[in-house]
Chains A and B, each alone.
Chain A
């Protein structure tokens, strides 16, 4: 089952497109990272998946076919928006009670136990909590709904390194315990390389790549060799990124088969997640139309 499916998805605000022509099929069970620079369309995509924004074109369904925003979709998706909005003037226990009243399924005991575990005072007003604690409260409320899909929009941006670690630990525990699938966005890929087993790379309102992290890594490598042969070689390969030094060329290429032979006189190196993401973001920025055809599906 795909937890998220989009076809030809696009959203325009006025005359400008925040996202266009987005085709995604994210299978269940993953921690999918939605990466891209600020303004790439990450929040737009997430808002549409969460049912907050209505697509201008295309379709988006969740959890095996429910239209985003439909009652059944809302029932099984928990969304924590950017900056983890909580009612500043309500206490943590009020927020727990509030969320329970707005949902059919809610595990108050879990929420209370989590707050105690995190040493967050239940009577304290949410506005008086630190950013890290507010994020944890928002995440706890979301998880207490026992969702099948958890959507987190830039949850780590405002957190210090320790709070990031705590936050991700909570997410990973929920994945292990309840099998919840997660879509998490970030503009900093370094936050996610350790966790994400599925990557969705957005750039300038378009999908640059989307696949399982391991598949992406296996399908790409960096070829290093003499610069004067690079042009000829590049014509026979799918080059994502082409970096030239004086005498040497570094080509980040996509290979159909990881067992493909390395051209004589060249050396092959595996790519890291960060290299790969940055390469796609750069390539996409330069020649968006050419890159479309290279999107691994």
Chain B
């Protein structure tokens, strides 16, 4: 695009028009368009965090700090397991409900014809919007992951913090945030590709489950690093790379296949 020869009729305002539309406009645009999601998701997570803190305080009061899993009564252990299951599916839920509609709704309702014919190039529109929302999901998930890790701590027996224990590994802040990011991008990209919200949601579920099963059952066993936190960092790194690649692919799709 930069190699264009300046056409003869380009006019006198060439210098003025060479300055592109600033990116920061997308901050307000994203906030205003996704306000419902940007408010409701933190509210739901905050409520869940309060619940976890209350439960965590009670468990610590009832059992003390260093009790093995076998000593919990069935109700408490079942509750902890249920919470852990919710944690495992939370990233894909964020993807399905926040990520899939971001582009699919624009394409479904025809508003992309408005959004993508403004002065801001649509690749930038896509990149800015996905990066902002993805970062928001990841940070929010990371913070919530901290709360959950604190809640879940008494339920982990000493030898359980291994890379292969998905119950713990999946829900630790670093990896948990990265999965939320990846799920959001898988969903957003599916939405761009399929141009419909519902199919994009279904595809997101399938792809996410496939990828997380593959990761848990195979990939983690073959990481070039050992130890819990190095493995967390490694997994976070490749998920971030995957997410960045998905943003680029989505922006290209928007460029080539808008109408």
Residues of A within 8 A of B (CB): 1-2, 47, 50-54, 61, 63-67, 70-72, 74-79, 81-83, 85-88, 90, 94, 97-105, 138, 145
Q: Which residue of A is nearest B115, CB measured? A: A102
Whether, in the assembled complex, B12 has its beta carbon less than 8 Å from a beta carbon of chain A, the answer is no
Q: Are B114 and A64 in contact (CB under 8 A)?
A: no
A102 is contacted by which of B8, B11, B19, B119 (Cβ under 8 Å)? B119
Interface string of B1-36 (1 = CB under 8 A from A): 100100111110000010111000110110011000
Given contacts A52-B258, A85-B114, A88-B109, contact A102 B120 (CB under 8 A): yes
In the bound complex, how far is the Cα of B6 from the Cα of A67, in angstroms?
11
User: Cβ of B118: which chain A residues have Cβ within 8 Å of it?
Assistant: 74, 99, 102-103, 145
Known: A66-B7, A103-B120. 8 other contacts (CB 8 A): A1-B9, A53-B258, A61-B7, A76-B17, A81-B113, A85-B113, A103-B118, A104-B21
Residues of B within 8 A of A (CB): 1, 4, 7-11, 17, 19-21, 25-26, 28-29, 32-33, 109-121, 125, 256, 258-259
Given contacts A52-B116, A54-B256, A98-B29, contact A64 B109 (CB under 8 A): no
B121 is contacted by which of A61, A74, A99 (Cβ under 8 Å)? A74
Given contacts A52-B258, A53-B259, contact A86 B17 (CB under 8 A): no
B125 is contacted by which of A47, A61, A88, A102 (Cβ under 8 Å)? A102
Q: Which residue of A is nearest B20, CB measured? A: A71
User: Cβ of A75: which chain B residues have Cβ within 8 Å of it?
Assistant: 17, 21, 119
8 smallest beta-carbon distances between A and B, as pairs: A64-B9, A65-B7, A101-B25, A81-B113, A102-B118, A52-B259, A53-B259, A1-B9
User: Cβ of A79: which chain B residues have Cβ within 8 Å of it?
Assistant: 113, 117
User: Cβ of A61: which chain B residues have Cβ within 8 Å of it?
Assistant: 7
Given contacts A102-B125, A105-B119, contact A138 B114 (CB under 8 A): yes
Chain A proximity of B125: nearest CB distance (Å): 7
